Amino acid sequence: MPSRYLKLLGFVLRTRVSRVMLIIVLLVLAYGIASGSFLYSSHAALSSQALRGEKTIAVIYSAVLTFLLSFQGGLSVLKSDRDYLFTLPLNRSQLALALYIGQLVVSGALTVVWLGWVLPLIGLPPTYAVAGGTLFAIYLTSLSISVAELQLRQRALAVAALVIWTLSPLFGIPVAPSAMFYGYATPGLATLLVITVALTAVTVSRLSRAPVLYGYAASPSGFGGRETVTRSLSFAGTSPLRAIYKAKLMAISTIASFGGVGGGRRYYTGRISLTMLLVIVSAVASAYVAAGAFLIGSGYLRPLDLNKLVQGSNSTGFIYLYFPVMVVGVLAISFTASWIMLERPWLAFTSMRPGRYLRHAAMASAISSLAISAPFAVAMYVMWLLKLRPALSYVPALLLAVPSLSTLMSLMYAYLVITPQARHEGVVPGQVRARALLISVVAMAYIVLILLLSTSGPLTALEASAALFLVILLPLGLLDAPWDAAARRMVEEGYV
């Protein structure tokens, strides 16, 4: 029996994580353990201000991981599972546990990539760091499977509450999953241990009793059977290029997943008009300004010095200024992945040159990213008028760096074929490969860039953002060759 289960577990792991991906994760993990042990044994320490900054980054990264894995969570069922694994006479409990461990490896890989390099720098003993990182990966795995069962609106509220809880150590709360990353080693580890054991026990128990579903058909009518675009689009008398921009901007496509202990994940596609999206984002930006004015009036948020902000001496100001760029960045990456996954080359690439089509589709995605960035840029300018001086540095980053990031992500998603094509099967057709790490690398680079721009002054931020615009967005917006290569790769990797 053990040998049969090990073979089952080996098959599940091989179908989910490529060897190169696993090697990279192990190297990052080895680096984290080795560097942490060296710093701890040699009593090397960062300055108090630098240490607080690293702790702040660790908590923020843990909140980002919580958002990504819980909002887009669910127990992954691959095409190989449905076509082969689920047809075998296997014990249901053993199969469920193997699927859970496979999900844990993927969650653990993301945890190592995001937190493995920063944990050695926050002053934790190696034993605490390893135990905390392991427990946090298990916690995220169980959380993603459990939360994914909720309907989209309920899940959004639950994820928002979880992210706020994860960020709470920055405000002096020691009882949180990420508290040990901010210096609350003992209470933080105890809290993480209790919620991880309880949540994992419930999740694994429910998985062992749930029927493993063989997959779902995609919903033909959007999220929960509703769409936010109520009128149909007409392209009569419209040129091909205008049709691309009309289709991409008048009805922005989104994709999300749903599914938990049932063993499968449904993929839903939906559409939202750019006008409706602007109304929602503008409302959030207005609430953001109102919250900032309240914090300034109550004394929680004071006019900040740039150096104090980056050194982490004002956590409230750091989180407040960081919120818009995180929201806009996540939306830009999400919209980019969605339109790539929903492309149909057999239809789009036969209407015009494939590279030209992808180039203009990417430009439409960049325009939508600019549209959702503009209200927050205005909000940042208003906060600058209210004497929150570092806010002005975020304005060029939002207006220039975010559209550039969207364009770069479009090319990466298309050329590297990081995401599978969304079809009516409702299952993920492939494993997590090393190339998917590039998205995490670019996302982390974007975070670091925003941090640098926010502490360098408005003029430097403007120059750096303009350089990104000229180096990334402008060439990719004018040349078809990179997009031609991306179109070939999409077809070669199974896009039809």
CA distance 99 to 215: 14
Which pLDDT score, from 0 to 100, does residue 227 have?
A: 42
Distance, in Å, from the CA atom of 488 to the CA atom of 63, rounded to the nearest integer, reads 37
Q: What is the pLDDT of residue 263?
A: 41
Q: pTM of this prediction? A: 0.70
The torsion angles phi and psi of 266, rounded to 5 degrees, stand at: -85, 140
CA-only gyration radius of the chain, Å = 23
Name which of 135, 148, 147, 230 is nearest 191 in CA terms. 135
Q: How many residues does the chain have?
A: 496
Kind and range of the H or E element at 267? Answer: strand 266-272
Domain ranges for the chain, please list them.
1-212, 215-496
Within 10 A of 130 (CB to CB), how many other CB atoms are there? Answer: 17
The per-residue pLDDT for 197 is: 93
pLDDT score, position 257: 57
Name the token pair of 356: 């030209």
Other Cβ atoms closer than 10 A to 308: 16
340 near 224, Cβ under 8 Å?
A: no
Contact 482, 415 (CB under 8 A): yes
Q: What is the pLDDT along the chain (496 residues), one digit of tens a residue?
A: 577 778 888 888 777 777 777 777 677 667 766 766 666 666 556 667 677 777 888 888 888 888 878 876 667 766 667 777 777 787 777 887 888 888 888 787 778 777 877 777 787 777 888 888 889 989 998 888 888 777 767 877 888 899 889 988 888 889 999 999 888 888 999 999 999 999 988 888 777 765 544 333 333 333 343 444 445 666 666 777 888 888 777 777 776 655 444 444 555 566 777 888 888 899 989 998 998 888 787 776 665 544 455 444 455 666 777 778 778 887 888 788 888 888 888 888 887 889 999 999 999 989 988 988 999 999 999 988 887 877 888 888 888 888 888 898 889 888 888 777 776 544 454 555 666 667 767 776 776 676 666 667 778 888 888 888 888 888 998 999 999 999 998 888 878 8
CA atoms within 13 A on the CB side of 270: 20
Which pLDDT score, from 0 to 100, does residue 138 have?
A: 92
Helices (H), 168-314: 185-209, 240-250, 274-298, 306-310
Q: What is the DSSP string of 24-49?
A: HHHHHHHHHHHHHHHHHHTT----HH
Local structure of residue 305 (DSSP, 8 states): P
Q: Which two tokens mark 46? A: 């960062």
Predicted local distance difference test score (pLDDT) of residue 363: 92
Greatest CA separation found in the chain? Answer: 73
Q: Note the Cα 400 to chain centre separation in Å.
A: 21
The answer to whether 70 and 147 are in contact (CB under 8 A) is yes
User: How far is Cα 493 from Cα 486, in angstroms, rounded to an integer?
Assistant: 11
- In eight-state DSSP terms, residue 390 is G
The answer to whether 45 touches 51, Cβ cutoff 8 Å, is: yes
Q: Count CB-CB contacts under 10 A for residue 80.
A: 19
Assigned token pair, 469: 């615009």
Distance (Å, rounded) from C-alpha 180 to C-alpha 195?
14
| 318/34 Cα distance (integer angstroms) | 31
Helix (H) or strand (E) holding 466: helix 458-468
